[in-house]
Every structure is written in C-alpha cells, then in structure tokens.
Amino acid sequence: MKRTVLFAAIFLVTLTATGCSLLPVKHKPADSITPAGRVDLSDSKAVKELLHLQHRQWKDTGYALGGLSRQGIDCSGFVYITYLEKLGIELPRSTELQAQTGTEVARSELRPADLVFFKTGSKLRHVGMYIDNDSFLHVSKKEGVTISKLSDYYWGTRYWHSRRVGD
C-alpha cells in the first residue's frame, strides 16, 4: 500500500514538473479550429491586432497541461493554436520543437509574433508570443491566458531566447 502511494506521488510530481516542456502531443486540435489564411508577419500592426484579438477571445481560459481547448490549454498549445487560427502557420505542438523552429532573433530586434522562450526550471521551458513594448502573450499556470512584460522580474531572469517564424 505504502509503495503504491509512493509511486503515485512520484508520478504526480513528475507530471506536474514537466510544465510546458511537454514532449510532442500525438493529437491535433479539435476540428473546430479553422486555419487562417497566411498572414504577412512583417505587417506589425495587423499581427498585433490579431494577437490582441486572440487574447480577448481566450483570456478566461485556464492552464491545463496538454490542453488544446477553451476548457484548458498549455503554453505551447496556445502558441500552436494562435499561429494556426490567426496567422495561418502550423507550428510543432511542443515547446521543445517550437524552440528549434524558425531563426533565432536578438531580444532587441523582437517584433510581433516572435516566439519568446524561458527556462523556468532545470529542464522546464515556457513559450509565449511577443506583442510589442516589452509585452508578450502566453499561458500562465496561475493566470491562464495573459499578457506579461519581458522585464518583469520573474520573466526577465528566466528569458532564454527568441525565434522568428515564417520569414
């Protein structure tokens, strides 16, 4: 009995600790997701508007590891769905693979929709999408879909790198 409880506890801790660095998910989002026509990512104004629209549409959605719906979503799933629904680009589903997509871009050169990555633990990674003026759109475990500042103490000390997709 004690051994079963110990194994269950270890499993739950391991599952919780994986965060958004979840390995690739083997399923696609619900059929209700309609890919957009491809957006010109160099049109900063249009891209910012689409990211703010996505925030308004998803802001009451909470965090759920592996989630891909308004009942709950994780960081890489939100990036995946946002790129597909709003920008017409299909990205890999996992943070690990998203961190290898596109080309690396300097933090000082960020533009709307660039992916921003953070190291939130020894093996944990987090991803969001840059909007402008030091802000980025992402899914927080505590707040769900939200906008934060790169310069916030938490995010600023964990910033890892950024990538540009679609150029």
Q: Is 12 helix (H, G, I), strand (E, B) or coil?
A: helix
- The pLDDT assigned to 19 comes to 52
- The pLDDT assigned to 26 comes to 38
Contact present, 53 and 129 (Cβ < 8 Å): no
Query: Which positions are annotated as active-site residues?
Result: 75, 126, 138
- The pLDDT assigned to 36 comes to 73
In words, the CATH class of domain 20-164 is: alpha beta
Residues of the chain with pLDDT under 70: 1-34
Q: Residue 63 corresponds to which tokens in the numbers above?
A: 């965090």
How far is the C-alpha of 85 from the C-alpha of 59, rounded, in Å? 16
Contacts of 131 (CB under 8 A, 6+ apart): 48, 51, 52, 112, 137, 147
Contact present, 160 and 105 (Cβ < 8 Å): no
Contact present, 85 and 36 (Cβ < 8 Å): yes
pTM: 0.82
How far is the C-alpha of 162 from the C-alpha of 118, rounded, in Å? 9
- The pLDDT assigned to 37 comes to 84
